[in-house]
Structure 1
């Protein structure tokens, strides 16, 4: 009996003293929306990088994909009801009121720089565009629930709202819209996919509005929020996030940013941008300098 007691005490000591690295938790994230969702892997790899960056303090964590895919509105409902632990999306006032936003742009703020994806046969037509007014008479395909659609319409652009991501490229190919504005950080990877041979990224014209992509968590999940904040801050302060972008297959083709210096950039207003957005913190944002309309 004495020997058993000693063994139990030893086991108890090692259980209490075990390093944080042995603790494994699960973080439920969204699955890939479709085969066209090339940027999905970027965010998955970034989350894993953040988790490794904070592993010593918070322990191991693994990502688990939810069983079903969500539209943006349903994904936020899933986040509120704890069917998702983490969701990444462009921010707006309502989202930051209802959820905890990790206010560090995941792509250096470049999500708000949009490249028109067009049919190759329309290349010469788009070459004639010199003002935002000329682009506004054309129709953009855009997500029905994306804040981008509201931003475009607020600034006088015509928008064909589409519910499913995969349908947007299909509608563009069918000529049901003239262009599909995609984030400059995601467009090149998407166009490497199947059935995109007749589409091109017309990066001689860019649309730009302040629209950071953030991680969002349930307001009650403070532990995960703090981990994400600390991990991202560490990556940014060490220059690791920019290096990650320069090397990742999804985003590496946008560099060097100087290659867009001769592009025409049309600036848009985003009135749904929360006042708390850290626009003044230059360490968080990457800049593309072009001629502007």
Structure 2
């Protein structure tokens, strides 16, 4: 082969090699950044979503290699309970929320079936005014307990469970407003998850100094908190599901749960309280029994002093 013919052949080979590389680059899938838009808290005092946001972050971090970059942001303003569902349907202003299942949500949204708080949000203790503790100290039956007026948000799933059980439920229109109503004794008690009550008394006690956590009773409502994802973002739902499973498998999920909840599980002294259990029609007794069996949720009768010893010492 002459020198010119050799050079021509080499150039042809180089040309097709470059063409192959360019073509490969063009057809190679580019992973777009996953943007999670969560609901903005109701107020500067509202810390209810911080733990679920932490789990979201862990899930996204542990799926970076196969799903790519990510970002977590919040809506421009808080979404009221009534507006959340239609906005989630479009997925434009908000595309993920951590909430208990509600009627129609399972049909219209993508629910990730991993109980984020292991059911402890259904361990309801009550914020009251200090002078009303005597009303609860001698309660021994649910018939006595249900007569005391208690506050609830309008669209909270716990509201419907309490009403169906015959409790005297007074409805408030806003999170901050419910504490104002409690202070004005529009109702006597305000049921909160054990993960919420103590922090809220500390926060709102600066405004309403008579607030305390009631010491004698606990209302157990089978309840789970799940991530609900917009149907407009199925790929994001898949990533969150994969990420949650990974942090469950590597132990980070349980570690985050105990670090967040152990201080409240021990402080609330569940074993010394009168426990009243009512049904939640959104979770069947059989489903709850299976979740207990699979350790996806925990029982209020568990010995938390022993389980939480390491985490509280830390």
TM-score by length of 2: 0.81
Query: The residue matched to 1:261 in structure 2 has which SS?
Result: helix
Moved over 4 A (4+): 2-20, 274-279
Query: The residue matched to 1:145 in structure 2 has which SS?
Result: coil
**2:278 — aligned with what?**
268
1:62 to 63, 71, 74: 71
Query: The residue matched to 1:283 in structure 2 has which SS?
Result: coil
Larger proportion of helix: 2
Give a deviation string over 1:5-35, Cα, whole Å, max 9, x none: 9889767767877996xx5331111111113
**2:249 — aligned with what?**
237
Unaligned 5+ residue runs, structure 1? none
Q: CA deviation at 1:146?
A: 1.1
Task: Note if contact 2:123-2:218 (Cα within 8 Å) is conserved in structure 1.
Answer: yes
Q: How many residues are paired up?
A: 285
2:178 to 168, 190, 196: 168
Q: CA deviation at 1:242?
A: 2.4
Q: CA deviation at 1:59?
A: 1.4
Whether 2:195 is the aligned partner of 1:185: answer: yes
Whether 2:64 is the aligned partner of 1:52: answer: no
**2:231 — aligned with what?**
219
**1:80 — aligned with what?**
89
Structure-2 change in CA distance of 1:129 and 1:75 (3 Å): same
Q: CA deviation at 1:261?
A: 1.2
Give a deviation string over 1:226-261, Cα, whole Å, max 9, x none: 11212222223333222112223xx34224489421
Task: Note if contact 1:101-1:214 (Cα within 8 Å) is conserved in structure 2.
Answer: yes
Give a deviation string over 1:188-234, Cα, whole Å, max 9, x none: 22222142532112243110111111110123422111112122222
Structure-2 change in CA distance of 1:262 and 1:15 (3 Å): farther
1:137 to 138, 147, 161: 147
**Which is worse superposed, 186-195 or 111-120?**
186-195
**2:33 — aligned with what?**
24
1:198 to 201, 210, 215: 210
**Which is worse superposed, 253-262 or 139-148?**
253-262
Query: The residue matched to 2:99 in structure 1 has which SS?
Result: strand
Task: Note if contact 1:39-1:190 (Cα within 8 Å) is conserved in structure 2.
Answer: no
Task: Note if contact 2:49-2:98 (Cα within 8 Å) is conserved in structure 1.
Answer: no
Task: Note if contact 2:146-2:167 (Cα within 8 Å) is conserved in structure 1.
Answer: yes
Task: Note if contact 1:211-1:273 (Cα within 8 Å) is conserved in structure 2.
Answer: yes
Q: CA deviation at 1:94?
A: 2.2
Bigger Rg, structure 1 or 2: 2
- Matched ranges for 1:107-122 at <5 A: 107-122=117-132
Structure-2 change in CA distance of 1:31 and 1:133 (3 Å): same
Task: Note if contact 1:206-1:266 (Cα within 8 Å) is conserved in structure 2.
Answer: yes
Whether 2:150 is the aligned partner of 1:150: answer: no
RMSD: 2.8
Structure-2 change in CA distance of 1:4 and 1:179 (3 Å): farther
Give a deviation string over 1:41-81, Cα, whole Å, max 9, x none: 12222211111122222112111211121112211111012
Query: The residue matched to 1:215 in structure 2 has which SS?
Result: strand
C-alpha distance in structure 2 between counterparts of 1:8 and 1:63, whole Å: 38
Q: CA deviation at 1:280?
A: 0.5
Task: Note if contact 1:162-1:168 (Cα within 8 Å) is conserved in structure 2.
Answer: yes
Structure-2 change in CA distance of 1:108 and 1:196 (3 Å): farther
